[in-house]
Amino acid sequence: MPGHCRQGTTVSGSLRGSAAKINHLAFPGNQIHLSFGTRKNFSNMAQFNIKKLRSGGLITNYFCTSSCKHCLYNCSPQWEKRFIDPGTADKNLQIVRSLGCRSVHIGGGEPLLRPDKLATVLEIADDLGVSVEYVETNSSWFKDRNSAIALLSRLHKQGLNTLLVSISPFHNEFIPFFKVKGVIAAGQRAGVGIFPWVTDFVSDLSRFDSGQTHSLEEYYDIFGRDYLLQVLKRYWIHLGGRALETFRPLLGQKTFQQIIRESSGSCCDELSNTSHFHIDLFGNYIPGLCSGLSISMEDLGKPLSPETYPILTSLYHCGIRGLVKMAEDSVGFRPQKNLYINKCDLCTEVRTFLVQNDYQGSEELNPAEFYIKS
Ligand code: SF4
């Protein structure tokens, strides 16, 4: 049965390139004991292999005008001001197409901070026969009606058909609502389809002066201290990246021991899910929604080697328990918090601990800035 580390299962961990063998998994204070033996035993299990891609997005840049409190990728103005180059865009999209996916969306960061470079990516996608379903924008670039119409009209001619326009209280902490409304109006005038995400928040944002930004504290004052819990029911938010910090005070109710006890399975389902995949400007394929983990684009479509991908192999077969054990043995990981939201919260902490403690055993913890920037 693939994907389950159980009593007596034998797999191996390789850290710092030294093929260090993990012989026993035992967590203090509970009865979990998992035996690890030789690396070859991975070959008895189904190998992690992304054979097909279903639906996903291309991250053209991580730098952004905002540091939204729900951002899965920890985007912010502090990231390097780097946009995907044409060669990488071409290569990434060719691989996506070869694995059966004929359409992508484009996101960031904020892609419209470099409109000329975005236009180049749109043209590359068109040349390759990959359709771009929509481009995401936070509208921060809006200055006035005429310049916005001119920009969107030009991009429309270069292949921009639909803009996903972000509307949320998280965005409103950084971007006045008048800019969002201006982009929507300009897009309609330029013939670009508008995909407002999400209209449900229009009434909330409309309670405030649209010429200013507004903090979440202001939202709590009007809508109540449980506003973030209300938001969770109205908005798709994946609890990863910066959302962990935002929601942990509300949802973090499990101790390290509870997480370990309850997470006996593997992460193969999450890591193998290609229904909402992302690839980025650095040539990373981000498995599932597990931001901060990376598979090289060139390694898609073939079994991942445990030597090159010890962390992902461990997570794929043994889940959070395997990762914790690897980190304990290699860099002396100890839990940093009293309470966690779920296994992914702990997983992100373990990976951050590895990076902060000079883990150099593989290239899976990328992009590096995910772990550094707040
Ligand atoms: S525990 Fe880690 S690898 Fe598993 S689903 Fe969560 S973030 Fe992904």
What is the rounded distance in angstroms from the CA atom of residue 52 to the CA atom of residue 237?
Answer: 25
Say if ligand 1 is within 6 A of residue 311 CB: no
- Which numbered atom of ligand 1 lies nearest the CA of 292? 7
Q: What are the domain boundaries of the chain?
A: 13-45+258-371, 56-236
Q: Tell me what pLDDT residue 374 has.
A: 52
N residues, the chain:
374
Say if ligand 1 is within 6 A of residue 346 CB: no
* Neighbour order of strands in the sheet with 131-137: 193-197, 162-166, 131-137, 103-107, 56-59, 277-280, 284-286, 295-296
The amino acid sitting at 322 is G
Tokens at 59, concatenated: 């991250």
**Contact 53/278 with Cβ under 8 angstroms?**
no
- Which numbered atom of ligand 1 lies nearest the CA of 288? 8
pLDDT in tens, 78-125: 999 999 999 999 999 999 999 999 999 999 999 999 999 999 999 999
Say if ligand 1 is within 6 A of residue 344 CB: yes
Sequence-separated (6 or more) residues with CB below 8 Å from residue 264: 4, 6, 319, 321
269 C-alpha to ligand 1 centroid (Å): 10
- Which numbered atom of ligand 1 lies nearest the CA of 344? 6
- Which numbered atom of ligand 1 lies nearest the CA of 346? 1
270 C-alpha to ligand 1 centroid (Å): 7
Q: Tell me what pLDDT residue 32 has.
A: 35
- Which numbered atom of ligand 1 lies nearest the CA of 320? 1
Say if ligand 1 is within 6 A of residue 317 CB: no
Sequence-separated (6 or more) residues with CB below 8 Å from residue 172: 205, 208, 213, 214
* Helix 343-356 with 242-251: angle, nearest 10 deg: 130
- Please name the residue whose Cα sits nearest to atom 4 of ligand 1: 267
- Please name the residue whose Cα sits nearest to atom 1 of ligand 1: 344
The amino acid sitting at 221 is D
Nearest Cα to Cα of residue 336 among 62, 345, 128: 345
240 C-alpha to ligand 1 centroid (Å): 9
Residues of the chain with pLDDT under 70: 1-44, 373-374
Q: Which residue has the tokens 């509208």?
A: 139
The amino acid sitting at 219 is Y
Write phi, then psi, for 59 (nearest 5 degrees): -90, 110
pLDDT in tens, 5-28: 432 222 333 333 333 333 334 333
Tokens at 103, concatenated: 């359409």
- Which numbered atom of ligand 1 lies nearest the CA of 287? 8
Q: Counting Cβ atoms within 10 Å, is residue 127 exposed (0-12), middle (13-18) or buried (19+)?
A: exposed
Sequence-separated (6 or more) residues with CB below 8 Å from residue 272: 48, 50, 287, 288, 316
Topology of domain 56-236, CATH = TIM Barrel (3.20.20)
- Spell out the long-range contacts of 141-149 with Cβ–Cβ below 8 A and sequence spacing 24 or more: 141/65, 141/110, 141/112, 141/113, 141/115, 142/179, 142/180, 142/182, 142/183, 142/186, 144/182, 145/182, 145/185, 145/186, 148/182, 148/183, 148/186, 149/186, 149/189, 149/190
198 C-alpha to ligand 1 centroid (Å): 27
What is the rounded distance in angstroms from the CA atom of residue 277 to the CA atom of residue 53?
Answer: 8
Q: Tell me what pLDDT residue 46 has.
A: 79
| SS3 label, residue 82 | coil
C-alpha radius of gyration, the chain, whole number: 22
Say if ligand 1 is within 6 A of residue 133 CB: no
327 C-alpha to ligand 1 centroid (Å): 15
CA distances from 141 to 80, 274, 288 (A): 18, 31, 30
Say if ligand 1 is within 6 A of residue 270 CB: yes
Say if ligand 1 is within 6 A of residue 124 CB: no
Tokens at 243, concatenated: 């959302």
Say if ligand 1 is within 6 A of residue 290 CB: yes
Angle at 251 between CA 249 and CA 253, to 5 degrees: 95
* Helix 227-234 with 216-223: angle, nearest 10 deg: 100
294 C-alpha to ligand 1 centroid (Å): 12
- Which numbered atom of ligand 1 lies nearest the CA of 319? 4
Helices then strands, each counted (H, E), the chain: 14, 10
Q: Which residue has the tokens 């590096």?
A: 368
What is the rounded distance in angstroms from the CA atom of residue 197 to the CA atom of residue 53?
Answer: 24
**Contact 355/12 with Cβ under 8 angstroms?**
no
Torsion of CA 198, 199, 201, 205, to 10 degrees: 120
Indicate the pTM of the whole model.
0.89
